């Protein structure tokens, strides 16, 4: 896990989001991390259900999931703007680790989540 922590700090250590996330998470208990994971998994499940039901990425229902995704990040880690969320969406398809997280749920889900996030106004 330290490998990932080092990578994150190397890539984003100077950013406000990184500093805010580090400050917040330094105070978290195991229960807090478990709750954050539950929130993250719930949003991912909602994306997977919408994807499986072929709900369009621009639909109000999917855009509500996009907002919930951003809200979960803001709640647990750092204030996530739409612009920051769109940057994350790029990682979801360009970083094999992030892509594997979504693809483990359903083939094509990473692209769907990416497209849904980019469809925001």
pLDDT value, residue 85: 95
The C-alpha R_g of the chain, in whole angstroms, comes to: 14
pLDDT value, residue 10: 54
In a domain, 75, yes or no: yes
pLDDT value, residue 13: 47
In a domain, 23, yes or no: no
In a domain, 48, yes or no: yes
pLDDT value, residue 113: 98
Number of domains forming the structure of the chain: 1
Which parts of the chain sit beneath pLDDT 50?
A: 1-5, 9, 13
**Which residue segment(s) compose the domain that 100 sits in?**
28-118
Neighbours of 70 (CB within 10 A): 20
pLDDT value, residue 6: 52
pLDDT value, residue 4: 47
In a domain, 6, yes or no: no
Give dist(CA 45, CA 85) in Å, integer.
18
In a domain, 98, yes or no: yes
CATH at residue 98: 1.10.490.50
pLDDT value, residue 21: 77
In a domain, 13, yes or no: no
In a domain, 89, yes or no: yes
In a domain, 14, yes or no: no
């Amino acid at each position: 896990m330290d490998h990932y922590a080092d990578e994150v700090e190397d890539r984003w250590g100077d950013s406000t989001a990184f500093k805010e996330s580090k400050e917040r998470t330094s105070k978290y208990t195991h229960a807090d991390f478990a709750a954050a994971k539950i929130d993250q998994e719930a949003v991912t499940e909602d994306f997977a259900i919408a994807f499986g039901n072929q709900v369009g990425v621009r639909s109000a229902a999917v855009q509500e999931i996009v907002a919930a995704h951003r809200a979960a990040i803001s709640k647990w880690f750092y204030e996530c703007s739409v612009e920051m969320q769109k940057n994350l969406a790029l990682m979801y398809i360009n970083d094999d680790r992030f892509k594997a997280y979504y693809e483990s749920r359903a083939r094509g889900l990473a692209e769907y989540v990416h497209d849904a996030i980019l469809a925001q106004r």
